[in-house]
Amino acid sequence: MINYGHFIGGKSFTGDENRYGHVLQPMDGTVRARVALASTKDVQAAVESAKAAQPAWAATNPQRRARVLMKFLQLVERHNDELAEILAREHGKTIADAKGDILRGVEVVEFSIGAPHLLKGEFTDNAGPGIDLYSMRQPLGVVAGITPFNFPAMIPLWKAGPAIASGNAFILKPSERAPGVPLRLAELFFEAGLPAGIFNVINGDKEAVDAILDHHDIKAIGFVGSTPIAKYIYSRGTLNGKRVHCFGGAKNHLVVMPDADMDQVTNALIGAGYGSAGERCMAVSVAVPVGEDTANELMKRLVPKVEQLKIGPSTDSTADYGPLVTRDHLEKVLSYVSFGLEEGAELAVDGRGFKMQGYEKGFYLGGCLFDRVKPDMRIYKDEIFGPVLSVVRTTKYEDALALCNDHEYGNGVSIFTRDGDAARDFASKVQVGMVGINVPIPVPLAYYTFGGWKASSFGDLNQHGPDAFRFYTKTKTVTSRWPSGVKEGASFVMPTMS
């Protein structure tokens, strides 16, 4: 059995051996590893290491910091197969999907290599007689990221890349369900030349999270997870005077207009709704066809495709998706299927009977497809986070738009249409943070920012893109004067540039 500890000060750290959890292998239900759960004392050790290392790293010029990130990217590419294997075994997603997880994280690190440009301030020459004004961006100090199980590579790199490039020391608290990849990334950062203490990994549960939230030397925290936990972290972190951004749950709609390419729509819904077993915050979980004819045609095409989905172990290169992350999560998703039936939705495809031969103890669920779902049903209101797609029929475009706008979550949304006017109107009026037009999963590229609205996001700044560098730095403005033989008396009025 693998034993996972922590990574502090450039080396593995066992921590408190009396507190630990188990890391499961979802494809067969076996215990893959034992993971240490950090105590408050362990978090303190990570903070001390980070605090000691950060000043020298901040004093390193941004170009040299960027070179370390370049070397790190080379190492990630060299170890890509190894990382994907670990990720797939601990999360349950397929190897191909795991490589996509890694790549989207790598893209943000690539963007972060542009730190020398992104950290530039502003300058005004001769703002007043002999006076220059300029601003500079400086790191916050020690910052932290608390990241979820479903993207063990991508989201830690979304947090760490900009934070480290900005001159901060970073403490990562990943999900204890999938700690292998974050720990391996820490080793690769260190191998790339990152000084000891600049990237630390603490595995743990609520005790570790609360220790991070309450520690006065941690200046900022980024979080991704469920909305209830996002609210908790945001409120407690900001109460303690920290800069915090939190990204929570989602219920992403895909509106299907009558003129849409139905082959394109069907393929988009299958991939975006069932990929990674639906365990994505950007997964499409609600299809909204406009008009009965559109809905009937959509169901006619969707049903056989959902029935033909290939579910398999994470190591099966031909599988469309793998198992869910834990037995408990599987039971939760199954309970939502039962809720849908109880509330009157039509279960057009029932995946509950799926069994994976040779992997009977794995956490598998076949694709489930509901039709005639109503907005007051739990399967519509709640984030299920599984391979369950709901079809909500509407009679006109305005009703579909209102449906998206009225939901408490506002993470991602899409519209499929050939009508440019409808697409422009939708993009302008929909109250959601990320919009796709004939794109099912509208995750922006690394040089734009990622973030939802409403109950999907807490805080003023988004993830990656320029917002990440704003989040991990503070602005200092300097007013400078070098007088040339001018002698003045004391002034007791508010200074002006006259």
**Which residues participate in catalysis according to the annotation?**
281
Tell the residue number behind the tokens 């249409």, with chain if given.
Answer: 417
With CA atoms as reference, report the closest residue to 326 among 92, 1, 99, 148: 92
Q: Give backbone dihedrals phi and psi of 260, rounded to 5 degrees, phi first.
A: -65, 155
What's the half-sphere exposure (Cβ side, CA atoms, 13 Å) at 159?
32
b/e sequence 37-75, b meaning 16+ C-beta within 10 Å: bbbbebbebbbebbeebbeebbeeebeebbebbeebbee
C-alpha 271/C-alpha 487 separation (Å) is 73
C-alpha 50/C-alpha 6 separation (Å) is 14
C-alpha 40/C-alpha 215 separation (Å) is 10
Compute CA 176 distance to the chain's CA centroid, rounded to the nearest angstrom: 16
Q: Which two tokens stand for residue 278?
A: 């639906």
Residue 480 corresponds to which amino acid?
S
Compute CA 418 distance to the chain's CA centroid, rounded to the nearest angstrom: 31
Integer angstrom CA distances of residue 462 from 63, 153, 178, 469: 24, 18, 24, 10
With CA atoms as reference, report the closest residue to 463 among 476, 454, 472: 472
